[in-house]
């Protein structure tokens, strides 16, 4: 009887057996884990994509498909007419190019100003630092519509400290209807969601090891050079993240665009909000259910550039950072 146990023990203790068994076990465990992960990711992807699938499918429906009770998701007579008309009415390509210049420019300003402020708060001590950082929090929290009216009047009669008046015979200028209000606010770190970006940068810089900075200082680099050549490259994931958010939110901004009456020839977001009305009035599509299909096509055309930008940034920048191992 004991011999049997002895034999089993001998077999299991044999290094070739245990390595084989360990290998099989590890394989099995990996497989179970991978399928668990796949199930979760697939399920959640479906929840995320389901409204989008509906939108994309409907945007190809012809009028008959839209009313046919047998059509579900896959159209019988697919048409690209929705896209053609939506692109024409939104003046898509021109507006997209204008918009990209505007959005990318603003995002670059955001990156510079907010990373500077985040770095300043993360690594320097100065008087009233905590109170000033509370100002950042206030900027994030305050619902923007609360200060709509003061912002509107500020830019309607723009004359900070009487400086504009010096060049304009003592008169203020009306900046509404131009892109200047948004640019000025972004330059001074209070643009669209700037407070949040400052906060993200602050947390990121605080998470970086101090040693890399000290090494730079010992090597004789000045503060600005340390920031530009040491801290920024190390915060590359934060830069990419903020760049992505900056582009997406600026691109989708309804609030500043409307408040400052920025021309809709550079704002797709304003074009899309008036698309349904344009289609029903100019093209005499009186049926709201059909007009909605054009809006769907417009929404798909609006989402596409953002998605491409995100995939590009993720694939080329983030994975590049991972490979080159700048971090650390």
Q: Does 51 bind other proteins (CB under 8 A)?
A: yes
Q: How far is the CB of 96 from other proteins (least distance, A)?
A: 14
Residue 216 tokens read as 């730079």
190 makes contact with other proteins (CB under 8 A): yes
By the rule CB under 8 A, 243 interacts with other proteins: no
- The verdict on 180 binding other proteins (CB under 8 A) reads no
Written as six digits, the tokens of 284 are: 């005499």
By CB under 8 A, tell whether 311 contacts other proteins: yes
Which DSSP string do the residues of 188-222 spell out, in sequence order?
Answer: TT-STTHHHHHHHHHHHHHHS-SHHHHHHHHTT--
Q: Does 35 bind other proteins (CB under 8 A)?
A: no
Backbone angles phi, psi at 131, to 5 degrees: -65, -40
Candidates 12-20, 36-44, 91-99, 278-286; binding stretch for other proteins (CB under 8 A):
36-44
* Sole binder of other proteins in the list 28, 140, 163, 228 (CB under 8 A): 140
- Closest Cα to residue 194, out of 278, 73, 110? 110
The correct pick among 32, 40, 80, 215 for binding other proteins (CB under 8 A) is 40
Q: Does 29 bind other proteins (CB under 8 A)?
A: no
Q: Are 172 and 161 in contact (CB under 8 A)?
A: no
Is residue 200 close enough to count as binding other proteins by CB under 8 A?
A: yes
Q: Counting contacts by CB under 8 A, is residue 223 touching other proteins?
A: yes
- Interacting residue with other proteins among 85, 86, 216, 244 (CB under 8 A): 244
Q: How many angstroms separate the CA atoms of 71 and 64, rounded?
A: 9
Q: Rounded to an integer, what distance in angstroms lies between the CA atom of residue 180 and that of residue 172?
A: 14
């Amino acid at each position: 009887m004991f011999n049997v146990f002895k034999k089993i023990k001998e077999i299991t203790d044999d290094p070739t057996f245990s390595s084989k068994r360990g290998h099989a076990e590890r394989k099995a465990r990996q497989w179970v884990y991978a399928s668990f992960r796949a199930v979760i990711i697939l399920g959640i992807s479906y929840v995320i994509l389901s409204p989008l699938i509906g939108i994309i499918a409907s945007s190809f429906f012809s009028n008959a498909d839209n009313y046919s009770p047998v059509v579900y998701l896959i159209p019988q007579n697919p048409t690209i007419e929705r896209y053609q008309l939506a692109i024409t009415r939104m003046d898509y390509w021109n507006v997209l190019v204008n918009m990209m210049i505007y959005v990318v420019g603003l995002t670059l300003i955001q990156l510079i100003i907010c990373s500077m402020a985040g770095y300043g708060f993360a690594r320097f001590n100065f008087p009233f630092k905590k109170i000033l950082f509370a100002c950042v929090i206030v900027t994030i929290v305050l619902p923007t519509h609360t200060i709509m009216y003061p912002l509107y009047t500020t830019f309607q009669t723009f004359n900070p400290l009487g400086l504009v008046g010096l060049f304009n015979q003592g008169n203020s200028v009306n900046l509404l209807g131009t892109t200047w209000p948004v640019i000025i606010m972004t330059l001074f770190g209070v643009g669209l969601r700037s407070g949040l970006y400052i906060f993200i940068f602050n947390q990121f810089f605080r998470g970086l090891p101090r040693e890399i900075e000290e090494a730079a200082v010992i090597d004789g680099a000045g503060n600005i050079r340390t920031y530009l050549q040491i801290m920024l490259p190390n915060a590359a994931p934060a830069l990419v993240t903020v760049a992505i958010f900056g582009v997406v939110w600026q691109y989708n901004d309804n609030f500043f665009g409307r408040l400052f009456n920025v021309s809709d020839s550079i704002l797709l977001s304003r074009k899309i909000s008036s698309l349904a009305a344009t289609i029903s009035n100019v093209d005499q599509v009186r049926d709201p259910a059909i007009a909605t299909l054009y809006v769907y096509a417009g929404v798909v055309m609006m989402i596409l550039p953002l998605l491409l930008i995100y995939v590009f940034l993720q694939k080329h920048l983030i994975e590049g950072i991972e490979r080159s191992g700048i971090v650390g």
